Homo-oligomer: A and B are copies of this chain.
Amino acid sequence: MYADVCDINNIKIDDDFWSAKRELIRKEVIPYQWDILNDRVPEAEPSFCMHNFKAAAALNKKMKDKGSSYEPPKYTFRGFAVFPDKREEAKDDEFYGYVFQDSDFAKWIEAVGYSLSTDPDPDLEKTADEAIDIVCAAQLPNGYLDTYYIINGMDKSFSDLRDNHELYCMGHLIEGAISYYKATGKDKLLNAAKRYADFVSGVFGPEEDKLHGYPGHEIAEMALFRLYEVTGEERYRELAEYFINERGKKPYYFEKEHPDMDGSKDFYHQAHLPVREQSEAVGHAVRAVYLYSGMADMARICDDKELKSACERLWNSIVDTKLYITGAIGATHIGESFSFPYDLPNDTVYAETCASIGLIFFARRMLMLHADRRYSDIMELALYNSVLSGIALDGKSFFYVNPLEVLPEACRKDERKEHVKPVRQKWFGCACCPPNIARLISSIGLYAYTENEHTLFTHLYMGSTVNKNVGGKEVKVTVKASFPNSGTVYITVENASDTDFTLALRIPGWAEDSYKISGLEGLVHEEKDGYLYIKGFSDNTAIEMDFPMTSHAVFADEKVAEDCMKAAIMRGPVVYCLEENDNGPALRMNRLKLPLEISESHTDEFGFDVVTLNVKSVRESLTGSSSSGSSALYKNLDSIKAEEKTLTFIPYCLWANRGEGEMSVYVRV
Contacts and interface: CB of A to CB of B under 8 A. Distances in A.
Contacts of A321: 632-633
B319 A630 contact: yes
Nearest to A331: B414
A565 to B, nearest CB: 6
A332 B588 contact: no
Contacts of A348: 416
Interface string A609-651: 0000000000011101001111111111101100000000000
Contacts of A409: 340
A633 B530 CA distance: 19
Interface in A548-603: 552-558, 560-561, 564-565, 567, 586, 588-589, 591, 594-596
Nearest to A560: B633
A509 B627 contact: yes
Between A373, A555, A668, the greatest number of chain B beta carbons within 10 A of the residue's beta carbon is seen for A555
A436 to B, nearest CB: 23
B622 A509 contact: no
Given A627-B509, A640-B669, A634 B554 contact: yes
A622 B669 contact: yes
A332 B416 CA distance: 8
Contacts of A629: 373-374, 509, 530
A320 interface: yes
A104 interface: no
A589 B560 CA distance: 11
A637 B413 contact: no
Contacts of A332: 414-416
A410 interface: yes
A160 to B, nearest CB: 24
Contacts of A553: 636-637
Contacts of A640: 565, 594, 669
Contacts of A320: 631-633
A586 B563 CA distance: 12
A378 interface: yes
A589 B566 CA distance: 11
A373 B630 CA distance: 7
Nearest to A374: B630
Contacts of A595: 639
B635 A555 contact: yes
A323 interface: yes
Chain A interface, DSSP helix/strand/loop, else mixed: mixed
A343 B637 contact: no
Interface string A503-540: 00000111010000000000000000010000000000
Contacts of A555: 622, 624, 634-635, 637
A629 B596 CA distance: 22
Contact of A628 (B512, B628, B639): B512
Q: How many copies does the complex hold?
A: 2
A649 B485 CA distance: 50
A276 B621 CA distance: 38
A283 to B, nearest CB: 13
A609 B561 CA distance: 34
Nearest to A410: B343
A325 interface: yes
Interface string A256-291: 000000000000000000000000000000000000
A246 interface: no
Contacts of A556: 633-634
Between A321, A348, A414, A596, the greatest number of chain B beta carbons within 10 A of the residue's beta carbon is seen for A414
A628 B377 contact: yes
Interface string A380-401: 0100000000000000000000
A339 interface: yes
A510 B321 CA distance: 45
A555 B624 CA distance: 8
A555 B410 CA distance: 21
A334 interface: yes
Contact of A413 (B343, B381, B632): B343
A350 B631 CA distance: 20
A441 interface: no
Nearest to A327: B631
A239 B637 CA distance: 48
B620 A565 contact: yes
A407 interface: yes
A595 B246 CA distance: 64
A627 B416 contact: no
A509 to B, nearest CB: 2
A343 B635 CA distance: 17
Contact of A565 (B343, B554, B622): B622
A467 B450 CA distance: 90
A319 B378 CA distance: 47
B620 A414 contact: no
A521 B313 CA distance: 80
Interface of A: 319-321, 323, 325, 332, 334, 339-340, 343, 348, 373-374, 377-378, 381, 407, 409-410, 413-416, 508-510, 512, 530, 552-558, 560-561, 564-565, 567, 586, 588-589, 591, 594-596, 620-622, 624, 627-637, 639-640, 668-669
Given A325-B633, A373-B629, A510-B628, 10 more contacts: A319-B633, A334-B416, A343-B413, A554-B637, A555-B624, A564-B668, A565-B591, A567-B622, A595-B639, A622-B669
21 contacts: A319-B632, A320-B631, A323-B633, A332-B415, A340-B409, A340-B414, A373-B628, A374-B629, A377-B628, A512-B628, A552-B636, A554-B636, A558-B586, A558-B621, A558-B622, A564-B588, A564-B668, A567-B622, A596-B637, A622-B669, A640-B669
